[in-house]
Structure 1
């Protein structure tokens, strides 16, 4: 599992802004994306992972309990 950093997110966002498809992350990994759509998808994945990491650190856990109602 990859641990993402905020600098990785910033790197991907700057690559999107400049139109470059090759990204080198903070830990030295280099990835070349086929299209801008893949780069945007990577940005969304990294952003979601960072949010989950922040929630895990803060200890906030939200659970939803379904409420069922009889339709009669």
Structure 2
């Protein structure tokens, strides 16, 4: 299951409303405390933000040397 901004929004809404249950893709998760809910939110935030980072194309440099053997 890939984590998305929608999942992050659901966690934010649960924290704001004070509930401990969140639904992801039709599956309900109930956390033991608000602290656990906040930890889950921080984890989802890190995963979503790291996957959204555009690293761009990799750049390679090649150095060629030749010897003629004269």
* Class of the TM-score when normalised by the shorter of the 2 chains: 0.7 to 0.9
The two structures, once aligned, show a CA RMSD in angstroms of 1.6
Q: Which runs of 5+ in 1 are unaligned?
A: 61-72
The structure having more radius of gyration, on CA atoms, is: 2
Matches within 5 A, 1:6-25: 6-25=5-24
- 1:59, CA displacement in angstroms? 2.2
In structure 2, runs of 5+ residues without a counterpart are 57-70
Greater helix proportion: 1
TM-score (norm 1): 0.72
The count of residues paired between Structure 1 and Structure 2 equals: 57
**TM score, norm. by length of structure 2:** 0.74
**Structure 1 runs of 4+ with >6 Å offset:** none
